[in-house]
A and B are shown apart, each in its own frame.
Chain A
Amino acid sequence: AQKVTQAQTEISVVEKEDVTLDCVYETRDTTYYLFWYKQPPSGELVFLIRRNSFDEQNEISGRYSWNFQKSTSSFNFTITASQVVDSAVYFCAPHPPEYGNKLVFGAGTILRVKS
């Protein structure tokens, strides 16, 4: 199965709020990688984070953190102290071997950060 679900179509927050973007996927593979990409209003696709399925320890990089839980096939992404420049569409793209040599993207979550 190649199914990636980003249930939140759109989220609006006020600047400085924390926001978590959800991603759930289906796979029978046990070893794989997961990616998040950002698409700002200018339209380009920007790589944000990559992590593997080996280690479930949550990680933090600046204002970004992610929570990976293999048992529930979820890979959530959190922005702390959001800023207006974080306004964008965020795409989750898990990449297990069964998906083939391609990224299968979720439908994306539109994040609007208001000042």
Chain B
Amino acid sequence: DTAVSQTPKYLVTQMGNDKSIKCEQNLGHDTMYWYKQDSKKFLKIMFSYNNKELIINETVPNRFSPKSPDKAHLNLHINSLELGDSAVYFCASSPPAGYQETQYFGPGTRLLVL
């Protein structure tokens, strides 16, 4: 049973295209996150939702739009893809957001923009 799953695992696309990454968790958690890992392995938060409500929105271009249809799903839509968007995107989830909670990560989606 996969706890946090992401689709697709790999995504290769051309500049200017629009793409979506889906994330689902079956842990019963209330909070979900999107992180970006660049080519140098730096990991940084992008967004966080708590029970479908946006609670963290870091300095991310507005070409990136998260959507949470329910608390078990958090999707990431990217418009007008640019070369610099190439990275690995990780979804994570945790019990209600708090500094004491462990975040569990999905397998990552490797995005390559050509």
Contacts and interface: CB of A to CB of B under 8 A. Distances in A.
| Chain B interface residue number, banded | 20 to 34
Contacts of B43: 45, 91, 103, 105, 108
Nearest to A50: B102
Interface stretch (A58-66, A68-76, A77-85, A93-101): A93-101
Contacts of A47: 102-105
A55 interface: no
A64 to B, nearest CB: 16
A33 B99 contact: yes
| Chain A interface residue number, banded | 20 to 34
Given A43-B108, A108-B41, A103 B100 contact: no
Query: Of residues A39, A99, A100, A101, which shows the largest number of chain B Cβ atoms within 10 Å of its Cβ?
Result: A101
A102 B88 contact: no
B101 to A, nearest CB: 8
A46 B104 CA distance: 8
Interface of B: 31, 33, 35, 40-45, 48, 50, 55-56, 58, 88, 90, 92, 97-100, 102-108, 110
Interface of A: 32-33, 35, 37, 39, 43-47, 50, 52, 89, 91, 95-97, 99-105, 107-108
